[in-house]
Amino acid sequence: MNAPPSWSPLKRRIVSVLLLLHLIAIFASPMAGPPPASDLSRMIAGWFRPYLKAAYLNHGYRFFAPNPGPSHLIRYEVTLADGSTASHRFPDTAEQWPRLYYHRHFMVAERVNQLMSLPEPEELEADEAGQRQLAERLRFDGHPELAREVEDRLKQQRAAIVEQRRLRDGLLEGIAAYFMEHHDAKRIKVWSVRHPLPSPLDVRAGAKLDDPDSYLERLAIEWPRVVDLPLPGPVAPASELEEISP
């Protein structure tokens, strides 16, 4: 009777190492998700980033228990050809089904909220001014290497913000164009909606989960874009025009 085939010790060690690396990658991605996340977890996830993307394992799962955060939606209002308006909101289980179709709308709403949370130009300028002052102080104190690190970090931050704004504008314009075509509309306004969870004290006081006042809206885009033209200045009297004419 032939003995069953078995792996050599070397093959077992190789497979064990690969399985261990795979398990580390699975745990590293959610641990390095949105804050709070340690520098160590983000560094480990960085080592596995190509593998996580290729295997589609780069998930955060932070919106589940034990501490789910606020939900995010998109509300849009279209103006039709006859001048009437209609308001819609997604994700909506009544309009988007089956489940996968609903989930795609859910992820779009979450992505829009992330991109809408970018710092305002004034905030960004104040932060950059502080980092430039820090770099100058470090250089003055005799730490040119640290000053260069601060300046490099500032450049990377600025490039990341520019890229995020490009993604935000492209996504919002795509959403506006899609729903304008879907409803055969001539104008659309899109809002990013944030729905925080009520605190236990609010619930004890009678707060409802679907209270309309608990939905916080922020205008994301109006399409076609409305440009505020400068007001016309006062017209000079005819006598003054004659004096300045050649």
The string of pLDDT tens digits covering residues 139-168 is 888 998 999 999 999 899 888 888 988 999
Inside any domain, residue 57? yes
Taking the C-alpha atoms of residue 77 and residue 38, their distance in angstroms, rounded to an integer, is 41
Q: Domain residues for 56?
A: 13-62
pLDDT band of 191, cuts 50, 70, 90: very high
Residue 43 lies in a domain: yes
Whether 30 is covered by a domain: the verdict is yes
Q: What percent of the chain has pLDDT over 90?
A: 34
Residue that the structure tokens 């205008």 belong to: 219
Is 41 among the domain residues?
Answer: yes
Distances (CA, A) of 205 to 196, 200, 201, 202, 215: 16, 9, 6, 5, 18
Q: What is the mean pLDDT of residues 162-187?
A: 92
Nearest-angstrom CA–CA distance, 44 and 42? 5
In a domain, 191, yes or no: no
Strand 85-90 versus strand 185-195 pairing type: unpaired
Query: Against a cut of 0.75, is the pTM above it?
Result: no
Distances (CA, A) of 243 to 236, 239, 240: 11, 7, 5
19 in a domain, yes or no?
yes
Domain count, the chain: 1
Query: Does 33 reside within a domain?
Result: yes
Query: For 77-124, how does the pLDDT look when each residue is reduced to its tens digit (9 = 90+)?
Result: 999 989 999 999 999 888 888 888 888 899 899 989 988 888 877 888
Judge whether 40 lies within some domain.
yes
